Amino acid sequence: MVETELSNSLEIQTLGRGSDDERMGLDMLIYGRSGAGKTYRAGTAPKPFIVSPDPTGHKAIPYEVPGKLVRCVQDAVDVLEFFQSGGHVGKADTLIVDGISFLYDLYVKEVGQYMVDYHGAKDPDLMPISGRLKINNKFKQLLRDMIDLTQINPPERRVHVIMTTLEERVKEDEEAPFNIRPHFGTQTMNQNLPALFTVIGYIAPYGEDSEGNLTDLRKMLFTEYKGILARDRTGTFPAMCAEAPNLSEYLQ
């Protein structure tokens, strides 16, 4: 009887790769070293809007892109609310958050200063564990809210969400699952937050061609390879792109 009542009252959704809903918006993380071309590559997505905690990353895009420089946490919140309310419809199909670790630094700086000004803390960098935990939880919630724009209702408000960040190189350890992984802000977040993302692409320069000459070409991994964290749960991209892809060729 309980099962019958549940099946009659539960709103059933369609999930999985075969669902049209799941294909309307894709969330993606692009990471790599400084200057690898993360922002430039993200900017090839359909109708991009860039929110930039990184003060210089957007300069790598060789054409005009609408967006907002983030000088404080509220700037990022304002952009989120703009997309949630549908202000972007007809203007932007992709939200790019360029420089996640810079956004985390803003959280630490602002909340730390608040603790100094109003709660007697001596230094923003010397907050108690409970204070840092609150910061981390709020930061993670902001990332989740941005990623949720891929599934927001009504469907016409949905967008692709692409975030960029630097790489973290972990000291080689046989027990460590990955020696190269995205950098979010803390060791715990670097371990746990990749689970939020459907697609993780690692971008890196070739370095040298077959004749030993330096090259500015890029390759991009979408599957785990030799200790590098990368994946594509949807099968949208090839396992490796010999040249970093134009995202508009894969995302509609």
Domains and CATH numbers, the chain: 17-249 (3.40.50.300)
Which pLDDT tens digit goes with each residue over 201-252? 999 876 666 676 767 778 899 999 888 999 999 999 999 988 888 999 999 8
Q: What is the pTM of this model?
A: 0.85
Which pLDDT tens digit goes with each residue over 24-67? 689 999 999 988 889 999 999 999 999 999 888 888 888 889 99
SS3 content of the chain, % helix, strand, coil (to 5): 40, 20, 40
Which residues have a Cβ under 8 Å from the Cβ of 144 and sit 6 or more positions away?
196
Which residues have a Cβ under 8 Å from the Cβ of 172 and sit 6 or more positions away?
179
- The predicted pLDDT at position 1 comes to 42
